[in-house]
A = this chain, B = another copy of it.
Amino acid sequence: MNEKKLTPKSENYSDWYNQLVQRAELADYAPVRGCMVVRPYGWALWENIQDELDSRFKATGHVNAAFPLFIPMSFLEKEKEHVEGFSPELAVVTIGGGSELEEPLIVRPTSETIIGYMYSKWIQSYRDLPLLINQWANVVRWEMRTRLFLRTLEFYWQEGHTAHATQEEAEEETLRMLSIYTDFARNEAAVPVIPGRKSESEKFAGAVHSYTIEAMMGDKKALQAGTSHNLGQNFARAFDIDYLDENNTLQHCWTTSWGLSTRFIGAIIMTHGDDQGLVLPPHLAPTQVVIVPIFRKDDEKDKVMAVVDRVKSELNNIRVKVDDRTEVTPGFKFNHWELRGVPLRLEIGPKDVAKNSVALARRDIPGREGKSFVPQEGIAQTVAEMLETIQANMLTKATQFRDKHIFEPKDYDEFKEIINNDGWCYVWWKPSIENEAKIKEETKATLRCIPLDQPGGKGKCIFSGEEAEQKVYFAKAY
């Protein structure tokens, strides 16, 4: 019954993570290597993520559709960088209905190619543009080293694919979606991501340039939590996605793609989790409030449960669970729901009945400091406000943690030390694929992003010492 203590984060972060994902019943390993089962609690979290993103997509004019799982191998080969990037990771169907297939089918690792093919059929004139479609789908990438949510053979995501008449509109779309991801991460998941551009070596296979939101995990490693790509005319050329403009001239479209996956659940776990377990942001938590009734004797039970039922019914706009199990103790229940990261616990016992009060325990502030007693009267408003307080506090705490672990080393030696032990480096950088590769080899750190928010001015590149015009983040990453 999950009573064992988690390995503390400080002792072994990776063990902590793996134990937590399974014990909190977010996900489990499947009997196929590297595949996961997302369990009901994890899927409920994903459904809340989906709702928040989907409503933002629809509010900005996007519609959903569904494109096939299988892609002819030849499609991938039409875009040179794309096939180079993805071919080592493919799952291939070679047999269908008992017979060998003439052309093998790949299981989609992403859908630019097959969607590009369909767009070339659907788009004729400038009146058909922009075409703004998203799909919620499963994709497969044959990864060798896998971890639940962070990197699995099959994962779940949304992938947006849009086509535009001009380069400017495509760039605007790419940035619009990045800002939707940023807004979602900060305001719903309390994950203070840094939006920026990927370097040439880190961009998506087939993109002109890629944007990313980068998050700092509890072990100070970076996690790429969502990406938005400007594909230029690369896929339009490869798949003849053309339109007649207002002057009746045939033009290639400009396309984009953008995605956020179940990996984001890993970001939530590692941004907020502590040694007791998950800490879920109230906006996304499947259960926002758990009520634990406390009583010893049967005559106490009726009185307590009457208040529990009334409080529960008053909290009808909130996702509430009453844990009325009789076979386990209140202490067991506290641990159970703390492990699962429920943001707020309400305890109601005989004393609370007598005093018309309720005991609150905040998940984001462990121990006594997070406990308070509030009147039963007005409980719906008290709880709603408390949930917003918790949500805001989680963002503040995560932002402080992040900022405390971002450093500006004075030279490359200090850079290496910081990367090794302390966190991220924020440094002046003169773009160079070679120098990036050297840093990666020497420190395992990668250029996470060139943040959109730039200080201006110029500085000395941390590696080459040459004059540089931008500051960037380097870090070890998931």
Interface size on A, residues (CB 8 A): 58
Closest beta carbon of chain B to A26's beta carbon, Å:
11
Contact B97 A94 (CB under 8 A): no
- Identify A154's interface contact among B40, B68, B121, CB under 8 A: B68
Closest beta carbon of chain B to A161's beta carbon, Å:
12
Interface with B: A27-35, A214-222, A333-341, which one? A27-35
Interface with B: A59-67, A368-376, A391-399, which one? A59-67
A142 at the interface (CB under 8 A from B): yes
Q: Is the interface of A mostly helix, strand, loop or mixed?
A: mixed
A64 partner residues in chain B, CB cutoff 8 A: 40, 43-44, 47
A105 at the interface (CB under 8 A from B): yes
Contact A118 B28 (CB under 8 A): yes
Within 53-105 of A, Cβ neighbours of B (below 8 Å) are at 63-72, 75, 87-98, 104-105
Question: Which chain B residue shows the least CB distance to A38?
Answer: B66
Question: Which chain B residue shows the least CB distance to A25?
Answer: B122
- In the bound assembly, the distance between CA atoms of A66 and B104 in angstroms comes to 27
Task: Give 13 A-B pairs besides A32-B72, A97-B144 with Cβ atoms closer than 8 angstroms.
Answer: A30-B114, A31-B114, A31-B117, A35-B69, A43-B64, A43-B66, A66-B156, A69-B154, A87-B98, A90-B97, A93-B94, A96-B153, A137-B138
A315 at the interface (CB under 8 A from B): no
Closest beta carbon of chain B to A348's beta carbon, Å:
24
What are 17 A-B contacts defined by CB distance under 8 Å? A32-B70, A37-B66, A37-B67, A40-B64, A44-B63, A69-B107, A69-B138, A69-B154, A70-B91, A70-B140, A88-B98, A90-B97, A94-B94, A97-B143, A97-B144, A127-B327, A138-B138
A36 at the interface (CB under 8 A from B): yes
A133 at the interface (CB under 8 A from B): yes
Most buried by B among A32, A39, A67, A88: A32
- Identify A107's interface contact among B39, B93, B153, CB under 8 A: B93
